[in-house]
Amino acid sequence: MPFHQWQNAGVQKSDLAQYLGAVVRKHRTSGKTTQEQLSERADIDVRMIRLVETKGQNLSVNLAECLARGLGISLSQMIREAEDLRRQKPDNKP
């Protein structure tokens, strides 16, 4: 099996990244924090934060942890909230 087929074998596209982006945006705006401020707190380029919030950019575990820390929440809370959002949306769109 070619590498690209092996790499994607059995992997379904997930919408969790879009919901994580919605959670990041919710916590950031509820704390009246700008993307630039979160960028400084999380030590992440502001362009990546924009991608996460608006395009549902896939997150590495390290990036997700940095964002959670910058927002003052745990990574497990961020994931739990994203999963809760996904369950609540009948059309699977954040």
How many structural domains are present in the chain?
1
CATH of the domain at 26: 1.10.260.40
56: nearest Cα among 25, 10, 30: 25
Q: Is residue 39 part of a domain?
A: yes
20: nearest Cα among 56, 60, 48: 56
Question: pTM (2 decimals)?
Answer: 0.80
pLDDT one-digit tens code per residue, 17-66: 999 999 999 999 999 999 999 999 999 999 999 999 999 888 899 999 99
More confident residue, 4 or 51: 51
Q: Is residue 1 part of a domain?
A: no
pLDDT > 60? residue 92: no
* Structural domain harbouring 48: 14-88
More confident residue, 19 or 7: 19
Q: Is residue 68 part of a domain?
A: yes
